[in-house]
Structure 1
Amino acid sequence: MKGTQQPAPRRSRGPGRLFRLVLALVAAIGLTSTTAFALPSHEDLSPARLTLPRLAAAPMDTVAAMQPSWNLGNTLDAIPDETSWGNPPVTKALLDTIKAQGFRSVRLPVTWGGHQSATAPYTIDATWMNRVKQVVDWALADGLHVVLNVHHDSWQWIATMPTDHDNVLARFKATWAQIAAKFRDSPQSLLFESNNEPQFNNTTDAQGNQYNNELNTAFHTLVRQSGGNNATRLLVLPTLHTNAGQDFLDILAAEMKSLNDPNLVATVHYYGYWPFSVNIAGGTRFDATSQQDMTDTFTRIRNTLTSKGIPVYLGEYGLLNFPDYNHPARVELGESLKYFEQFGYEARAAGVTTALWDAFNFLNRTTMQWRDPAIIDQIKSSWTTRSGTASFDRIFLAKSSAITAQTLTLNPNGGSFRGLWQGSTMLAQGRDYTVSGNQLTLTAAALTRLAGNRAYGVNATVEARFSRGIPWKIHVTTYDRPVLSNATGNTNGVSIPTQFRGDQLATVEAKYADGSNAGPTDWTPYQEFNEAFSPDYPGSALLLTSRFVNSLRDNTQATLTFHFWSGATVTYRVTKSGSTVTGTVG
């Protein structure tokens, strides 16, 4: 994991005349794309002269059959050891669960450096190698395709290649030589991936691309020369940073073409439009900018790679630091559901196989249960169909005001709206809601009934159902404008007593009186969620982090505007004087 990302390609020469003729014959007699053939030495193309043994599927077909895919994140790639980042040891039961949940392949990120001598001959510890093989074999035994890689080595020691070129190249080759030897007889459902998120210290993109090409080529050469099934095994090559910018895709495509090997796969990563993915600079919604970023990414991948017959395995996707069950969600649930819904559609349209990055945050590896069914249900649905959404997943009703009709905009995503339900009860169109075009309006009478005694928080949930996909949940929520109190803290942070009163925090804006931005991200007034600030709902507090308060000018008041999802805002003043920080209601 994890940064902003995207892919790259290659293309072999077009088929010769004989091959084209045989392809035409294959089409005429109705053979599948996974059926190959052998010809006698002379060019007799009559059906009686053809023998048609069944060989391996074409690379595009193989990679397509790997959809959907899942990452065993923060485990074999953890530093220094398998359980160091909080996950239990991998079991066969975990991989059985992944198979049972509908995944067809797994990516096994592995960090080798801590289990390898740092000097020549760079021997990998046999116990570690055998453990990796055990996990690979469990997955293969479940009928899963497996992608095995070199992971955090990318920044641990490979990144020093600009200043330690020969040693890094020798170690990289030695690493892959040992992996290739260990797995040379493993079935073709095992793929090798050169290097995770390639990066090189203190280099331009042009220089980084050269180093990345050099490593990809070295990887390709030594794996192919290792023999056995490695002679034709699918090899996965990344762009620099696994970035899907056009220049990165073009450079990888050119390298793949130069290798003249049909059994190559391009890989990139995608974590969305960065301000939205981490909730910074006001990127609270999956808005038109975020949507366009996703559409543009997959358009580049399709135009540069998949439309030209170059398979693409998108090795990681998700939202950065989401979900994080140790902290409040950076991205509002409904906005994240829209993201995953469109992501699945764009990937299918582009013919891209996608691997969900799961560091523990989606599947609980102790209980083998999904932590948030709404998210995983949307992800699974997106593998095959579109789902309708709406402009928001909440209707906020101010407790201090009379209830009035509320309108949301529906986005059927090619389907059709079928009505509103509360549980198994269908709401009555005309009495409970009306629809005009894509404008869905819940009546005051229906909202009054749904709000019940109007306790703060979610009073009721209704579903907008469409002709296909997952229903869109709408949470009817009672709130009043949150109330903050004065607070005192220090450079370790400030905890502001807060009555949320049914509302939730969207973002925080911070400025000085002169109009300049306050906070650690001074290029924008809207600070990063969970980095500069964080809501503590159970503790009835808003937290200003040490990173935020230490960035403040001394003895200079900063004005904070807390933006809540209801649309309410609250102004607050913060001043740092030496090691003391005071906060007052604006």
Structure 2
Amino acid sequence: MKKNTLFKTLLLLVIFAGSVACSDDDKKSGREAIEFAVTPETIQFNAIGGNSIINIHVNGNDDWTIENSTDWLTISETAGKGVGHAGLVVAANETTDERTATITVTSGTETRPVTIRQSGDTSTIIVYDIAPDATNMSDMTSVQLTADMGTGWNLGNTLEAIGGETAWGNPMANRQLIDGVKAAGFNTIRIPVSWSNFSDEANFTINPTWINRVQQVVDYAIANDMYVIMNEHWDNGWMQPTYAQQTYVNNRLAKMWKQIATHFRDYDYHLIFAGSNEVMVTDNYGTPTAEYYTVQNSFNQTFITAVRTTGGRNAFRYLAVQGFNTNIDHTVNFAVIPEDVTPTRLLMEVHFYDPFNFTLVDANTITQWGTNATDPASTETWANEAYVDTQFQRMKTNFIDRGVGVILGEYGAISRTDVAGHEAFRTYWIEYVSTSARNYGLVPVWWDAGLPQNNHTMGLFDRNTGAVAHQNIVDAILP
């Protein structure tokens, strides 16, 4: 038996038993039995709406009816006999005003009113730090914007390296590098940033020297007329999506993004903010629980609200949020598009490294991919060309077709020059994924953590001079 059916049956039995008991007691005491009752008399809903139930008790088998003239309220049962119930469904209140309705339950000549109240939606009420300013901010929708962004490239972990910008083996980002990326044919650059470089750690105050350094790198790209996606990256993994950490993370996230957004507020629409990166509970790569994705969705909303409140051009800036762990399946299944006071300016970001054993695991025996593979033992049975197309089609259906542009913020496959013939399969994977992403309307942004001279990397450029180190891969990425 279904749980809801069992619940309804038990509910009716309890009501019926109670009515019998009351009738017997009333007879013994000489009191008059209750003939017609409706509970509860008042029901309160929040702005997002929801479901509830009213219980109807009419002695005997007398008829009852429910009258409802409210278009935002639907009732499952509007007529019945004796003891019964009716389910209520209340739609979301998209206004800021509380609304009230009264439904009337009638039996014979008697009526019983039930009051339905619903709070107004205050999520889009915003007080700007300064007045909104649309100067030099495009009127393109986010979907139109992605068509203009072309193909992108990641600066990798340079501004996210633990211990300083050069700690992970790359030189400091310089103008020659960004000029070389533009000259190679890339129109978008993603700049991952670790912002937890604080001058006042207790208040999450970002060190001005650090924020100015990030601005210097952003300016290299802006000077090349490139789009820039600037995010809050892993940053030591402080953004844990649990109920225990939710308040702390949202508070820290809001304070940090308010500073970042204020500092970069005067930049035009070519600068895009992205709120986070691959949010997940550390080392838990499975399907997220309701707790995990609910909390992560709250991070996205906090980011949007924090940026918009700074006003100026940020009131119209394109903003990117992410699905859980930037996994396409989890994004489609669990991501909630945040509320935004500015329509058509939101982007959804996902990443793609499937099949993992082929793209990222250098010691794995999976070294071939796609229809050209010749050795079944060296090839995954899933994540082939059809899988790639299906995943990107899902992003198109669930987001692009609903007016939310999609960024493929990271993708790539490592070199494995120690495996004979691997480079041909790698190049084919890169070309296929890049082309498929563009065909379905996603912006492909290649992940490049530098060190192009090393095996098992994805580096494309000499980080000192900006010269292309692997032209065959660049050619496979670009249209």
* Pair in the same fold by TM > 0.5: yes
Tell me the distance in 2 between the aligned counterparts of 1:375 and 1:345. 13
Once the two structures are TM-superposed, the CA of residue 233 in structure 1 deviates from its matched residue by 0.2
Tell me the distance in 1 between the aligned counterparts of 2:226 and 2:218. 10
The one-letter amino acid paired with 1:332 is H
For 1:149-548, list aligned pairs within 5 A: 149-153=231-235, 155-159=236-240, 161-201=242-282, 204-245=288-329, 247-252=330-335, 254-256=336-338, 261-277=343-359, 278=361, 282-287=365-370, 289-291=382-384, 292-319=386-413, 322-323=414-415, 328=418, 332-360=422-450, 361-380=459-478, 383=479
The one-letter amino acid paired with 2:476 is Q
Normalised to the residue count of structure 2, the TM-score between the two structures is 0.63
Structure 1 SS opposite 2:390? helix
Q: 1:302 to 1:378 in 2, by over 3 A?
A: same
Structure 2 equivalent of residue 72 of structure 1? 155
Once the two structures are TM-superposed, the CA of residue 87 in structure 1 deviates from its matched residue by 0.9
Structure 2 SS opposite 1:362? coil
Q: Check whether the contact 2:194–2:232 (CA below 8 A) recurs between aligned residues.
A: yes
Normalised to the residue count of structure 1, the TM-score between the two structures is 0.52
Tell me the distance in 2 between the aligned counterparts of 1:295 and 1:98. 27
The one-letter amino acid paired with 1:101 is A
Structure 2 equivalent of residue 59 of structure 1? 142
Q: Check whether the contact 1:162–1:201 (CA below 8 A) recurs between aligned residues.
A: no
RMSD of equivalent CA atoms = 2.5
Q: Give aligned-pair identity as a percent.
A: 32
Tell me the distance in 1 between the aligned counterparts of 2:340 and 2:314. 19
Once the two structures are TM-superposed, the CA of residue 347 in structure 1 deviates from its matched residue by 1.0
Q: Check whether the contact 1:162–1:200 (CA below 8 A) recurs between aligned residues.
A: no
Q: 1:259 to 1:198 in 2, by over 3 A?
A: farther
The one-letter amino acid paired with 1:265 is L
* Equivalent residue for 1:91, pick from 170, 174, 188: 174
Once the two structures are TM-superposed, the CA of residue 166 in structure 1 deviates from its matched residue by 2.6
Tell me the distance in 1 between the aligned counterparts of 2:424 and 2:177. 29
Structure 2 SS opposite 1:268? strand
The one-letter amino acid paired with 1:234 is Y
Q: Check whether the contact 1:120–1:171 (CA below 8 A) recurs between aligned residues.
A: no
Between the two structures, name the one with larger relative contact order (CA 8 Å, sep ≥ 6). Answer: 2
Tell me the distance in 1 between the aligned counterparts of 2:248 and 2:420. 41
Tell me the distance in 1 between the aligned counterparts of 2:332 and 2:137. 33
Q: Check whether the contact 2:349–2:406 (CA below 8 A) recurs between aligned residues.
A: yes
Tell me the distance in 2 between the aligned counterparts of 1:377 and 1:56. 32
Q: Check whether the contact 1:105–1:144 (CA below 8 A) recurs between aligned residues.
A: yes
Q: Check whether the contact 1:239–1:267 (CA below 8 A) recurs between aligned residues.
A: yes
Q: Check whether the contact 2:241–2:280 (CA below 8 A) recurs between aligned residues.
A: no
Q: 1:280 to 1:299 in 2, by over 3 A?
A: farther
Q: Check whether the contact 2:155–2:448 (CA below 8 A) recurs between aligned residues.
A: yes
Once the two structures are TM-superposed, the CA of residue 132 in structure 1 deviates from its matched residue by 0.5
The one-letter amino acid paired with 2:412 is G
Tell me the distance in 2 between the aligned counterparts of 1:260 and 1:212. 21
Tell me the distance in 2 between the aligned counterparts of 1:318 and 1:280. 17
Aligned length: 321
Give 5+ residue unaligned stretches, structure 1.
Answer: 1-52, 384-586
Once the two structures are TM-superposed, the CA of residue 317 in structure 1 deviates from its matched residue by 0.8
Tell me the distance in 1 between the aligned counterparts of 2:320 and 2:199. 26
Give 5+ residue unaligned stretches, structure 2.
Answer: 1-135, 372-381, 451-458
Q: Check whether the contact 2:305–2:340 (CA below 8 A) recurs between aligned residues.
A: no
Tell me the distance in 2 between the aligned counterparts of 1:62 and 1:301. 16
User: Per-residue CA shift, 1:306-356, capped at 9, x if unaligned?
Assistant: 23332101111102xx137xx846981011011012112211220111111
Structure 2 SS opposite 1:120? helix
